[in-house]
Amino acid sequence: MFRFNTIPQRFARWNKVNNHDVRSGAVRAVSSLSNPQRPNRSFLMNMFGGKLETAELFPYPEPLNAEQKEFAAALVDPVHKFFTEVNDAVRNDDTSNVDGRTIDALWNLGLLAVYVPPELGGLGLCNVQSVLMAEISGSYDLALSLLIGAHKSIGTKGILLYGSERQKQKYLPMLSSGRVFGAFALTEPGTGSDAASIKMKAVLSPCGTYYTLNGSKLWISGGGFADIFTTFAQVESVDAATGEKRNKMTAFIVERSFGGVSTGPPEDKMGLKCSVTNELFLDDVKVPVDNVLGEVGSGFKIAVNILNSGRYGLGAMLSGTMKTCVEKAAAHVSDRVQFGRKLIEFENVQEKLAMMTTQQYVAQSLTYMVSGNMDKGSVDFHLEAAVSKVFCTEAAWNVCDEAIQLLGGNGFMKSSGLERFLRDIRVFRIFEGANDVLRMFIALTGMQKAGKDLRALQDALKNPFSNMGVIFTEGTKRAGRSVGVGGTDLRPFVASELQNAAKQCAESIDVFSAAVESLLRTHGKGIAERQFQLARVADCAIYIYSMATVLSRASRAVKLNLPSAEQELLMAQIWCKEASDRVQQNIHRIQSKSFKENYQRKATNIVLTASVRRAVQLQCSGVVVRNVSSSGVVHASAAVQSSSDQPKPNRSFVMNLFSGKLQTAELFPYPEPLNEEQREYVQAFIDPTVKFYTEVNDAARNDATASVEKAVVDALWEQGFLGAFIPTEYGGLGLSNAQSVRLSEISGSYDLGMSIYAGAHQTIGTKGILMYGNKEQKEKYLPQLSTGRVFGAFALTEPGTGSDAASVKTKAVLSPCGKYYILNGSKLWCSGGGIANIFTTFAQTEVVDPKTGEKKNKMSAFIVERGFEGVSTGPPEDKMGIKCSVTTEVFFDDAKVPVENLLGEIGNGFKIAVNILNSGRFGLGAMLSGTMKTCVEKAAEHVSNRVQFKRKLVEFENVQEKLAMMATYHYVAQSLTYMVAGNMDKGSVDFHLEAAVSKVFCTEAAWYVCDEAIQLLGGNGFMKSSGLERFLRDMRIFRIFEGANDVLRMFIALTGIQKAGNDLRGLQKALKNPLGNMGEILAEGTKRARRSVGVGGTDLRPFVASELQNAAKQCAESMDVFSKTIESLLVKHGKGIVERQFQLARVADSAIDIYTMAAVLSRATRASQRGLPSASHELLMAQIWCQEASSRVQRNINRIHSGSFKEHYQRLAQVARNVSERRGLPHTNPLEID
């Protein structure tokens, strides 16, 4: 058992920092809020007012003195030991519980009473010391960290900050060493973030000795085992001056033992499972008047300040979590070899790892800055604490998500620990102040301060001739200050190496202050309704404060000559470049006329529940399916066979875009719907499909049991869904690609796990035989796979190969008799591997070059039956999501495969594998289009009915923007999916880049849409009952499998650039000797003058509806700058462009944005021309998207060309190398205690 009783007694007293103890400092912070005479020292508050206040920014708060540091250091090893030897995070998560032994160890350690003074049984830690403990706990187990934090922070701080001496003496010993848990009970059903609107009543008894409380509280962390609750209720009070009666919120200390107190069962949540979240019921509970906390009517202030004083603790936990994520990612990319080199050697991997590390550094810096200032006695930390909470929770989400992406399939497995972190992190953006609400708090609180400073001038300007003196006086004041007029100078405060970064931060402060003043002049009090702009104001404030914070911390590292100084300087420079760029973007969006128009479109797009639902329904019905052929299967096969037809001109829009050519054959007009017969055919399957998913399939059960019941599987076979693509002559449905999209949308709208269960069979599990099988193979296997109730699976990936498919190690050796191949090796993460009996798999075979006689290994494809000797599968993988898809490893141990089971030609396996994947990628977008539709519907239903702050959520502009963008992302994804499928059905052989674009966009759009839906639903979205958390877990793998998105980005960029390079090669050679090749140069110049793309003349207006002329111009301008950029990169780098992955990633993103713009322009034009009911809605979304996407293209092109960003990339690479070398963070915390 671990105890802190070995710590020297001299430390066991209340800690002081600069003669301020955490208790008195915190109380002073609360009591001083009402003192209007005291100057506010908040950097942020003053920045809104156009003033530079550095007292709580420079220098960075110093760590503890030697004695305090020794005390903190003495706690570190026991805490690490507890988390590595006693606590079991996996078990806590699996059982949604913490065992008694672990709880006992927590009490013995004292971790549950870190803030309580020693004289009352606690450790008496200051805020900074507690941050160190929270970082350690968060690096191991967020759920247990939350269990601890809910008790030690919000569960006890109410009594610590506001309790009377009697209340402290009674309750704090119980909460510190009496093994009694406390909890904070504020939220109620229906109130959410609107704390002031709680309905719980507290009525004073006639005798005046107690209050009777009635009501309930929702989502109480630790509520299941807490015995003391800090809770809040409305109390009727009488205004002494007017005699008017009104309800005012009051805080109470409620014991579980009081009659009428009970809790509901634990909530079933996405994460933080062991924190035991419950509903609390108070039924005629008699609470003694002595248990009123603080003054009657002060409950709202108490609740807000309890939350404010504890927000930095969330950042501390998440700083630790991010540290672990970076370590896991660094270890993986430093050891994993792909494409012949370690992952860390690729620039796009370096960028990810460096940005993850930098975000952790920023988050940690904010956390120690806020807690350090609180320990110094700050009473003006509330905006900074809110900034810290928003930034840290969003940074942690991004860092963990990127770590999973870097680990690939390994990150999706429970064994990595990362998926647990991601599930746990999700609610941090919702509780203790939802981030969207905190953004409004930051912006409006700051605006209020700025408004007061500006009010005298505003009043004077109404009658300038009569108030000239006031105007001149205020003008003199403003001339004397620097902020907001281009003169802010942070250079005196920072290290010499950070002068340019300080300039970036200072310029951001100036443009921000000017923007705030402009908004106030334009809108006055009406700014409160301008949430589109306010959200950007808040983001600017967050970025500026985060820049200033890292400048301060990195300067300290230089001054103290810390070992991490060089690394800290690099990260401060990286962050100031990134954040200042984002400030510029947001200021542009605040002031730009085009973006103001875009905000109006978003508001028009989404107003009421009925319109939202109708919009989604119209999107789906407006494009039922796209096809002009009877058999998409035949065309898919033809596409593969024709891909080697060199003389045939390439009709791909994206491929030609890279070469500066406008190819519209597969873009305008939008692929037309099915003919009547084809429409009726697919329509006949829609109702049975919906009925299957609503009446037969049980998505929640599939997820909970990681299996599918036999009756459900039988129903799948009976419906024919598993033979969707197989021609009718082999027992299948013979659907075209577009017809299958419609059914996949339905399945994805209900159950992604089942969608993959069926999809892995019907697409990649059967398409190899369908596309490359000979007559005998098709006749033997396709009937089994369509109606014979035999599952197929695709087995390509191997341990160690990941996305590098060409490097498979499985061997296939031809037997001496020549009748069979002997296969040895294994395949990893085979979807449906546990139920499949027929595998399309790949192995290296020895091939002899007929010209040279040289022997070499080339990949070949095989059809392998489970019944073949030596074939076996491992147990199902334990995954984050799509649990019922039965993912397993497949083993081949001297497996004998008949030569007639060779699929396609020997040595053609790589091409076969790639084309199977290419031909099925649109299917992932189809499933996710359905998922997004459901997410939009759930979100629309919630925001249209939920009332917060006395109005429906949908009436707030920031909610409108979220919902509008979710609907728009769905529209774009659906448009891409039907575009690609429709072109394939028309016989396209040049769809490979478009299919890759579709896969990348749809998988990332779905992640965004589902995540935003959860955010809009708040705590409800985090609960399993919403179904959204299951969608989010399921879809996480979609960005990894069937071509990891990072690899597909390189595929898009390099394939396109290769095409452009071929077209440019003649000119490049000629330019090496311009005088000797003048004729060729002039001829090429004439050719380039004739074409429009790339020289500012692209014109899409003839192809689009009149309402979309401006949107078409935005798309065309993006095409022009893109084409010029490709040419510039090729001229400059030639073949060396392959190593420029920083730039290539931006090239790919630009190509994706341009193709998505073109696709929605085409589809919305079709809706307008046909007078579809959804036409006005589609036109709005096309306009919204072209504004958003063209803006991103401009930013990406700027990042490709900018000299400052080239330096930025070099810094990123260096940080990544440092992290790789250390296999983790090269910096420690500001206490320098590991």
| 527 or 551, higher pLDDT | 551
What does the block give as tokens for 451? 């408004």
| pLDDT score, position 838 | 98
Please give the CATH number for the structural domain made up of 436-598.
1.20.140.10
CA atoms of 192 and 947, how far apart (whole Å): 9
CATH of 320-433, one of 1.10.3720.10, 1.20.140.10, 3.30.1390.20, 3.30.365.10: 1.20.140.10
Are 379 and 28 in contact by the 8 Å Cβ rule? The answer is yes
> What residues have CB less than 8 Å from 308, skipping those under 6 apart?
381, 382, 385, 386
- Tell me if residue 292 falls in helix, strand or coil: strand
| pLDDT score, position 636 | 29
pLDDT 10s digits, 130-142: 999 999 999 999 9
The band of 595, judged by pLDDT with boundaries at 50, 70 and 90, is: confident
**Of the candidates 1233, 1232, 1219, which has an alpha carbon nearest to the alpha carbon of residue 322?**
1219
Does the structure show a pLDDT above 60 at 292? yes
Averaged pLDDT for residues 924-938:
98
Averaged pLDDT for residues 767-771:
97
CA atoms of 1232 and 1234, how far apart (whole Å): 6
**Of the candidates 3, 15, 203, which has an alpha carbon nearest to the alpha carbon of residue 119?**
15
| pLDDT score, position 639 | 31
| pLDDT score, position 649 | 84
Length of the chain: 1234
**Of the candidates 807, 812, 817, 730, which has an alpha carbon nearest to the alpha carbon of residue 773?**
730
- Burial string for 525-560 (b: 16+ CB within 10 Å, else e) reads eebeebbbbbbbbbbbbbbbbbbbbbbbbbbbbbee
With the C-alpha atoms ordered 183, 189, 195, 197, is the resulting torsion angle positive or negative?
A: negative
Distances from the Cα of 359 to the Cα of 135, 439, 1228, angstroms: 15, 19, 14
The band of 611, judged by pLDDT with boundaries at 50, 70 and 90, is: very low
pLDDT 10s digits, 817-826: 999 999 999 9
Averaged pLDDT for residues 983-995:
94
Q: Do domains 320-433 and 1046-1066+1096-1201 have the same CATH topology?
A: yes
Looking at the chain, the whole-number percentage of residues with pLDDT higher than 90 is 79
pLDDT 10s digits, 344-363: 999 999 999 999 999 999 99
Q: Please state which of the ranges 23-32, 297-306, 971-980 shows the lowest mean pLDDT.
A: 23-32
Distances from the Cα of 1157 to the Cα of 598, 754, 953, 1100, angstroms: 15, 32, 30, 11
**Of the candidates 930, 981, 1000, 976, which has an alpha carbon nearest to the alpha carbon of residue 740?**
981
- Tell me if residue 338 falls in helix, strand or coil: strand
Does the structure show a pLDDT above 60 at 1091? no
Does the structure show a pLDDT above 80 at 313? yes
What does the block give as tokens for 1198? 């700027």
| 641 or 793, higher pLDDT | 793
**Main-chain phi, psi angles of 180, to 5 degrees:** -115, 125
CA atoms of 1111 and 1120, how far apart (whole Å): 14
The band of 481, judged by pLDDT with boundaries at 50, 70 and 90, is: very low
Distances from the Cα of 652 to the Cα of 566, 916, 996, 1119, 1154, angstroms: 48, 19, 12, 15, 13
> What residues have CB less than 8 Å from 748, skipping those under 6 apart?
755, 926, 927, 928, 929, 930, 931
**Beta bridge mates, 846:** 857
**Main-chain phi, psi angles of 890, to 5 degrees:** -115, 135
Helix segments in 643-691, DSSP class H: 653-658, 676-691
What does the block give as tokens for 535? 């959200």
Averaged pLDDT for residues 900-912:
96
Distances from the Cα of 876 to the Cα of 833, 889, 908, angstroms: 8, 8, 30
The 3 state secondary structure assigned to 553-611 is HHHHHHHCCCCCHHHHHHHHHHHHHHHHHHHHHHHHHHHCHHHHHHHHHHHHHCCCHHH
What does the block give as tokens for 364? 């940690």
With the C-alpha atoms ordered 352, 357, 358, 364, is the resulting torsion angle positive or negative?
A: positive
Please give the CATH number for the structural domain made up of 1046-1066+1096-1201.
1.20.140.10
Are 1085 and 649 in contact by the 8 Å Cβ rule? The answer is no
**Residues classed as catalytic:** 1042
Q: Please state which of the ranges 27-41, 899-913, 1058-1072, 1212-1226 shows the lowest mean pLDDT.
A: 27-41
| pLDDT score, position 1078 | 52
Please give the CATH number for the structural domain made up of 653-666+927-1045.
1.20.140.10
| pLDDT score, position 6 | 40
> What residues have CB less than 8 Å from 413, skipping those under 6 apart?
419, 877, 878, 879, 880
| pLDDT score, position 804 | 85
Are 1171 and 1178 in contact by the 8 Å Cβ rule? The answer is no
| pLDDT score, position 11 | 41
Provide the pairing of β-strand 278-288 with 261-263.
antiparallel
CA atoms of 811 and 845, how far apart (whole Å): 6
- Tell me if residue 464 falls in helix, strand or coil: coil
**Of the candidates 214, 368, 343, which has an alpha carbon nearest to the alpha carbon of residue 283?**
214
| pLDDT score, position 450 | 86
Cα distance between the two ends of the chain: 22
Are 33 and 379 in contact by the 8 Å Cβ rule? The answer is yes
One-letter amino acid for residue 1014 of the chain = I
Helix (H) or strand (E) holding 699, with range, is helix 699-705
| pLDDT score, position 195 | 85
One-letter amino acid for residue 783 of the chain = P
Triad 182, 185, 189: Cα angle to 5°: 150
Q: What is the mean pLDDT of the chain?
A: 89
What does the block give as tokens for 926? 């189809």
Q: What is the DSSP string of 417-429?
A: SHHHHHHHHGGGG
Could you give the maximum distance between any two Cα atoms of the chain, in Å? 108
| 1225 or 244, higher pLDDT | 1225
How far from chain centre, in Å, is Cα 131? 25
pLDDT 10s digits, 619-632: 443 333 333 233 32
Averaged pLDDT for residues 413-422:
97
One-letter amino acid for residue 762 of the chain = Q
| pLDDT score, position 693 | 98
Q: Please state which of the ranges 203-212, 689-698, 1068-1077 shows the lowest mean pLDDT.
A: 1068-1077
Are 1015 and 426 in contact by the 8 Å Cβ rule? The answer is no
Domain ranges of the chain: 320-433, 436-598, 653-666+927-1045, 1046-1066+1096-1201
